[in-house]
Amino acid sequence: EAGVTQFPSHSVIEKGQTVTLRCDPISGHDNLYWYRRVMGKEIKFLLHFVKESKQDESGMPNNRFLAERTGGTYSTLKVQPAELEDSGVYFCASSQDRVGEQYFGPGTRLTVT
Amino acid sequence: AQSVTQLGSHVSVSEGALVLLRCNYSSSVPPYLFWYVQYPNQGLQLLLKYTSAATLVKGINGFEAEFKKSETSFHLTKPSAHMRDAAEYFCAVTPPPGAYNTDKLIFGTGTRLQVFP
C-alpha cells in the first residue's frame, strides 16, 4: 500500500507570503496528524483530525495556521502570512485506530526568508 | 502533563559495538512509549512500542527497549551496531486510551547515532 505522501518536499518563501502544505494519508486511515520540527528541536504536535473533524488542535501556534481536511481524505495546512519562525519541517502522519501506529510522511521542509 | 527527555543529542559507536540510546519520561498516568527512527530524506519509521504488555519490547532491525517504571525509563538498545543503523532516533510518549482525549505523540529532542567502521 502507498504510504503517507506530502507535497511539496521543500518550499522557500518570503516573510509575509502564503504557503499551503498538503498531506495524503494512507487510504482508509481516519486519523490524520500534523507535527512540526523547528531548528533541530523536538517534533511538536500541531493538530489531529478524525475524518474531517478536528479532534485536537491544541498545538496550533496561532491563527496564521489553518488546517483543513475536506471529505476526510487529504489535508492541507496553510500558513498565512508566513513568519521567519515558521521555518522547519512539517510532518504529517496517519493511523487507522486511536493509539495505533502513526505512519509518518517524509515531511515538507519550509524555509521562510 | 507528559514529557520525554533523551540524554545525548549525538551518540557515536563503532560497528559491532553495543548501542544504547537513553529515554526518560514523565507522565501522571502509565503511558504508551515509542521509539521512531528517521533515516536521511525519509519519514519517521516505528521501531517498537510499549503498550502495557511485556516490559521488554522487541522491535525491527534487532532493536529492543525495556520499560522500567521505577526508573521512568525506556532505553533503546541493540547488541551490535551496523553501519545502516546510522540515523536519528526519537523517543515518544502518549497517554493510553481513555486517559485523556488525545493520542498525540510527545517527542524527545532526538539522538543522532553515528556508526564508525
**CB neighbourhood size of A41 (10 A):** 12
Averaged pLDDT of chain B: 91
C-alpha cell at B7: 540524554
The reported pLDDT for the residue numbered A99 is 64
The reported pLDDT for the residue numbered B99 is 63
Half-sphere exposure of A53 (CA within 13 A, CB side): 2
Whether B117 contacts chain A with CB within 8 A: no
| Residues B21 and B4: beta-carbon distance below 8 Å | no
Q: Report the alpha-carbon distance of residue A6 to residue A104 in Å, rounded.
A: 10
Averaged pLDDT of chain A: 93
Coil vs helix vs strand at B71? helix
The reported pLDDT for the residue numbered B48 is 94
Mean pLDDT of B84-93: 96
Q: Do A35 and B101 touch (CB under 8 A)?
A: no
Q: Is the pLDDT of residue A87 over 70?
A: yes
End-to-end CA distance of chain A: 37
Q: Do B45 and A3 touch (CB under 8 A)?
A: no
The reported pLDDT for the residue numbered B101 is 64
Residue with cell 521512531: B36
Whether B105 contacts chain A with CB within 8 A: yes
Nearest Cα of chain B lies from the Cα of A92 at a distance, in angstroms, of 9
pLDDT digits (tens, 9 = 90+) for B27-47: 877 788 999 999 988 889 999
The reported pLDDT for the residue numbered B42 is 86
Which among B43, B97, B109 has CB closest to A105?
Answer: B43
